[in-house]
Amino acid sequence: MCGIAGLFAREAHAQVDRDLLVRMRDRMVHRGPDGAGLWCDDGIGLAHRRLSVIDVEGSPQPMHSPDGRAAIVFNGEIYNYRALRSELAGLGHAFRTEGDTEVILAAWRQWGADCLARFDGMFAFALYDRERRQLFLARDRFGVKPLFTALLPDGTFAFASELKGLLAHPALDRTIDPLAIEDYFAWGYVPDHRSMLAGVDKLPAGHYRIVEHGKPPHPPVCWYDISFERRETMSAQEEAEALRAHLGTAVASRMVSDVPIGAFLSGGVDSSAVVALMADRASQPVTTCSIGFDVADLDETAHARLIAEKFGSAHHERIVDPAMFDRIDALAAMFDEPFADASALPTAAVCALAREHVTVALSGDGADEAFAGYRRHVFHAAEERARGALPLPLRRAVFGPLATLYPKADWAPRPLRAKTTFQSLALSGEEAYARALGVMSPELRGRIFSPAMKRELGGYRAEQPLIELMRNAPARSGLDRAQYADLKFWLPGDILTKVDRTSMAVSLEAREPLLDHHLVELAARLPDTRRVSGGQGKLALKQAMEGTLPQQILYRPKQGFVLPIAQWFRSELKEAARAAARSERLLDTGWFDAAALSQLAEDHIAGRRDHARELWQLLMLERSVSLLSNN
């Protein structure tokens, strides 16, 4: 795993500032502490930080093709590189190393941009072709690996694995985009279609981009999209066998490593399945790492311990408590942009724990999105059946007034929050799912934003891109559309960003076998009832693991990796909540109504409302704005 950076001049014969490129590269030393590389030529400079995982002694980067035509910097892993290497050797390509980077170069020479469809892996890379005088940038199917880009005032095109790499460039426009603030409060992160800074873009997942001297950068091109349009007609036994085969292949391919490898273990279905399949293929006990909480209702360490004992893993645990709040500044620095998924704190803790024992860790991320494992999928599927029975105008007439009259009950389980259900049924499926996925409602954003901020937004509403994504999805049902939105919007923006930044901050490579695209594509073809049925999500995956995982793991209620911030903000951290709501740094931006922010904190502390997530958003935004202003 690595960090990459580069500068591509507008003019082909312009000189690249080597010292500046080194500064960009070394802002990301955590992504690659094992080595550094730099290559510059007329109009181009490529830089690389290396975390050695495969072919530890070889494969230095930037790497050049044998004929000198192409040079590459690459972040990620190509899991099927050995099969591709054999195929390319049969086509006449010679290889000097044992790693996957050289395979990308040969594949580009053989197939051009079509090489991307042949890669099984996670990646972001930049490849310079001397003959074509063009830069080719690409990102993997689901956005496991990040890539930030910027067009600088002099026409130079810059890129880096993290925003902090671009922030090392003095010419970068640091103007904060007000639309990103709206996006952030809606979702808790800044989605891939936007950046916190107006002058920065993110290459979207499953896209590539070409840049040529003397021309504006070409827009990103989509090379991969997941489709829910087909349906499988397998028997239950055939389905279970197919899933088990795909799961086994995905896990085995991600166990290839020349350095110690382990796994995150939460005690849920997904990480437990990964550990079980690893144990079946490992020649020695699997190293597993778990994080627990000081709040019993949220602690899963007993379940993780059960799996560790069953499969004989070398198990390690650590407990998260309010004292870890002191690490919030370090957490904010990992992300650069504001990132308010509070589970990033325990994720950072489990990554740090894992790095004490291994260099690579497998995770269970991706299965909830692919197999419909979130509670919101179960609720959405049920609501979609009701929407199908009644036309939208009638639902608005009946459920809209009920939602207005019914009291808000933040404390109640979701099925008992009738107000939320009435609100959802009065909306289209896409609008309702956008609300279910969001953190702060449009109404609450309307209360906390100042009149000046609302004018800057010009009517923009953060939910609209997600609604349009769902309406245009290659899908057959409302559940399909919800999962499509998760895979295209939520997964790269939240889940994978969280895992990438927290793992790379401690120089740990995280791999997601349950995001193997063959497995995800099979999941997308399963009938709705094999994903959600009888109030259960992820049904097909659970049934495929029967006989391997204990029933109490497979069918216990989903807990999620949730930090107990609601309790903390009413006890040990209540003054931190007040401080976030009264932050001079935030109020000086002119974005907020001061009285509304203060009321937000006091309502939560008094127990009148649950605003824990919103208060965490304010905390993380305050830290992020501070970091950006000091860079």
Instruction: List C-alpha distances in Å: 122 to 140, 206, 574.
Output: 5, 10, 41
Closest by CA position to 310, among listed 545, 541, 550, 542:
550
Tokens of 470: 């769902």
Phi, psi of 319 (to 5 degrees): -105, 135
What is the rounded CA–CA span in Å between residue 212 and residue 136?
9
Hey, what's the torsion of the CAs at 400, 402, 404, 407, to 10 degrees? -150
CB 450 within 8 A of CB 332: no
Run of H or E residues at 375? helix 375-389
- Based on its alpha-carbon atoms, the radius of gyration of the chain, rounded to whole angstroms, reads 24
42, 31 in Cβ contact below 8 A? no
Q: Would you give the DSSP letter of residue 465?
A: H
Catalytic residue among 2, 115, 289, 351: 2
Is residue 222 part of the annotated active site? The answer reads: no
Cα torsion 303, 306, 310, 316: sign: positive
Cα–Cα distance, 405 to 173 (Å, whole number): 47
Is 149 in contact with 137 (CB distance < 8 Å)?
yes
Is the separation of the CB atoms in 487 and 372 below 8 Å?
no
**Helix/strand/coil for 290:** strand
The one-letter amino acid at 355: R
| Active site residue ranges | 2
